[in-house]
Every structure is written in structure tokens, then in C-alpha cells.
Amino acid sequence: MAQNPDPTLKLTTSKGVTRTLDDWTTMFHLCLVILPPRPEAAVFVPVAERIFKVFGDADCRTAFCVVGNEFIARGVLGDAEDRYLTFVDPDSAFVKSLGLTRLPAFVHLRQDTSVVAAAEAWRPAEWQRVAREVAKAMAWSAPEIPRPGDPPSSPGWAV
């Protein structure tokens, strides 16, 4: 079960910008799709992009987080790494701070870095619940999860 992460934990983007989690959430909520360091996780990129398109103009910051370094993030995300804010988590410190045990995950953090909602593994109904929580907090519409073409439900991968 997800827990509030350490707000002083440093997060680095795939472009090399490092700030504390508290700094990344100063202005906006954070809406994260967290992926494991596996090429197979690329099937979740279209799902995340659909979520990001809906919430892109809302008062939240959407981003990927890939467990691994910049090279691994690029391998999992492909060209999407150029289009979206991407955090790298080479030692899994951020994922462990969140208390996550299965990936992929969809996590919504408030500006105070507390967890609003989280879904672990690929359980579309749980991801829809998180999307509705983001939409409620942002007074925004929610993306539809799942949609035709999305991967079937799966337990994902252990952290």
C-alpha cells in the first residue's frame, strides 16, 4: 500500500535536473506513471500519454518515473522521454519511499507530497479510480481507463 514519501528525497530528471520532491511539488500536484526498468513496460506508455493529454492543462504536473538511469528510461519510453517530464530512480529510493511493491503504478501526490491516491500493477479499474481522484482534486475531466487496445490486467512486476 502506498505511503507518503520523504519530501526531502532528491528526484532527478532524465535531463539531469535534480531537486527535492518538495521542490517539484511547490506549485502543482504531481501525477506520476511509474514504470519498471523493462522494455515490456513500453506497452503502458500509450496509457500514460492518454492520461497526460487529459491532465496536461490542469493544475498538476504529469510525469513519468522510470526505475533506472537515463539510458534505461530512454529504452522504456522511447520518444516519449523527449515529450514528457521524466524522472529517473536508479536505486529505487523514490519508489521504496512511496511504499510501492508492484509496477507499473499510477500515483497522485499533493503539493505537500502526501499521497492522494495510488494504483499498483496494471489494474485498469484502480487506475481509473486514481484518475477520478486527480480529476476531482483539479476540478477537471477524467481520462477513460481502460480503452480498447490497452493491455489486459496484469500483476506487473515486483519492485
Buried b (16+ CB within 10 A) or exposed e, 55-79: beebebbbbbbbbbbbebbbbbbee
Which helix (H) or strand (E) segment holds residue 85: the answer is strand 85-88
CB 102 within 8 A of CB 120: yes
Kindly report the CA angle at 70 between 37 and 82, in degrees rounded to 5?
Answer: 105
Q: What is the per-residue pLDDT for 1?
A: 82
The percent of residues in the chain predicted with pLDDT above 90, rounded, is 99
Classify the C-alpha dihedral 23-24-28-33 as positive or negative. Answer: negative
Q: What is the per-residue pLDDT for 21?
A: 98
What mean pLDDT do residues 57-71 have?
97
Cis peptide before 7 (omega within 30 of 0): no
Which tens digit of pLDDT belongs to each residue from 24-37?
Answer: 999 999 999 999 99
Rounded-to-integer distance, Cα 116 and Cα 109, Å: 6
Tell me, what amino acid is at 98?
A: L
Which tens digit of pLDDT belongs to each residue from 103-145?
Answer: 999 999 999 999 999 999 999 999 999 999 999 999 999 999 9
Q: How confident is the model at residue 59 (pLDDT cuts 50, 70, 90)?
A: very high
Q: What is the per-residue pLDDT for 96?
A: 97
Q: What fold does the segment set 10-140 form as a domain?
A: Glutaredoxin (3.40.30)
Cα atoms found within 13 Å of the Cα of residue 103, Cβ hemisphere only: 26
CB 95 within 8 A of CB 68: no
Q: What is the per-residue pLDDT for 122?
A: 98
pTM: 0.97
